[in-house]
Amino acid sequence: MECPAASPVWRRLAILAVVVAAVLIPALSQAADPAPPRFASLRADEVNLRTGPGVRYPVDWVYRRRQLPVEVVAQFENWRKIRDWQGTEGWVHQSMLSTARNVLVTGEVRVLYRKPAEDSVILARIEPGVIGTMRACEVQWCRIEVAGLVGWLKRTDIWGPTPDETAK
């Protein structure tokens, strides 16, 4: 008795399935990636920033800070051109980015409030360079989590949300 999987029809269907998967999987991963500009975070402790989209381009900088927020400004195949809070731009592989919405405290020591108002209870004072997770944003305030504390910072005190972004 002949195995049904060995028949020519099954072989053709298997080949067709492999071809369709090879075409659709990369297209679906690109489609799932929103168009730039958008924010992301570094996934690893070390991320190479390259001068172009590929391993043949030299490493210009090495980020050594997991969860650092970056702005994705362009994309080419599996490569993303990013910009950091200081304006440095370069290319990283998409696998080095996370969709986590983090923010970076900028300027000087900032105050984390319990509510989005300056007369609210002060929860903490946060040093510049601290990374927090963005939970929500309103017009002038963003709700973030830092070291287990959840509170509100002025939008102007952080880098990460777009000027018109309102996250809930």
What per-residue confidence (pLDDT) applies to 165?
Answer: 74
- Say yes or no: do domains 38-100 and 103-159 share a fold: yes
Where are the domains positioned within the chain?
A: 1-32, 38-100, 103-159
Give yes or no for a contact between 72 and 81, defined as CB atoms under 8 angstroms apart. yes
What per-residue confidence (pLDDT) applies to 36?
Answer: 85
Residues 6+ apart with CB under 8 A from 165: 137
103-159 CATH choice from 3.40.50.970, 2.30.30.40, 3.40.50.720, 3.30.420.40: 2.30.30.40
Quote the pTM value.
0.77
What per-residue confidence (pLDDT) applies to 32?
Answer: 64
What per-residue confidence (pLDDT) applies to 10?
Answer: 53
Mean pLDDT by 10 residues, the chain (168 residues): 58 51 44 82 97 97 96 97 97 97 96 96 97 94 95 95 74
Q: What pairing do the DSSP bridges indicate for beta strands 69-76 and 59-63? A: unpaired
From the CB of residue 6, how many other CB atoms can be counted at a distance below 10 Å?
8
Whether residue 37 has a cis bond before it, omega within 30° of 0: yes
- Listed in sequence order, the DSSP H helices in 5-100 are 8-32
What per-residue confidence (pLDDT) applies to 11?
Answer: 59
Evaluate whether the domain defined by 38-100 bears CATH number 1.10.150.530. no
